[in-house]
Chains A and B, each alone.
Chain A
């Protein structure tokens, strides 16, 4: 199976900081990579699909990049509301897989 590895597993940053989360695939997956945000007790929310396309309604401070095996989620200016766990997800079958998550805390 293709493995998805996220880093870091957690981070703490201040409001206004630029935050970068990486996701690496063990095999080439073109741009079949999505990013989700999850807050406690809630379902995941789609932020980015196809590696770099912003889902409707998601603030423009979120951006995705990458192709092949290495992908990045960037929050350009961290806001209080961005405190959450972020997951990458491979959307090339099979089987589908999520990364292990990155917990973002606000200092």
Chain B
């Protein structure tokens, strides 16, 4: 059974940093492109970043380029999102999501974690 379990979300002050983790199990983690998607309260999903299976290629939305960094540890089947210079508008539930197929990014997400809440507020 595929499982994705995010952690690391909490209340942080503007300008602060946070590192989110997503522990994966039940599939061949190193074969799959993984993504981070966030959803602000009352808004639709926003794709943030993706990383190919070997970790060598990353992709970012313009809104977080230079601010967030995606990475993965295939030996620990864990996905990460390092978030710096956080702003109030970064407040959202952050999901990790798995590509439906292995290989290079297909960008259709068949499994999602339960989400972790990041609140940026003073």
- Decide whether A and B are members of one complex: yes
- Could you list which residues of chain A lie within 8 angstroms of chain B, going by C-beta atoms? 1, 32, 34, 36, 38, 43-46, 49-50, 55, 85, 87, 89, 91-101
Residue of A44, A92, A94 touching B59 (CB-CB under 8 A): A94
Dominant SS at the A interface? loop
Judge if B44 is at the interface, Cβ distance under 8 Å.
Answer: yes
Among B59, B97, B112, B115, which residue has its beta carbon within 8 angstroms of that of A95?
A: B59
State A13–B80 Cα separation when bound (angstroms).
Answer: 41
Query: Could you tell me the distance between the alpha carbons of A32 and B108 in the complex, rounded to whole angstroms?
Result: 9
B96 and chain A: residue at smallest CB distance: A43
Interface stretch among B9-17, B20-28, B66-74, B99-107? Answer: B99-107
Please, how many angstroms separate the alpha-carbon atoms of A92 and B108 in the complex? Answer: 10
Q: Which residues of A contact B110 (CB under 8 A)?
A: 46, 49, 55
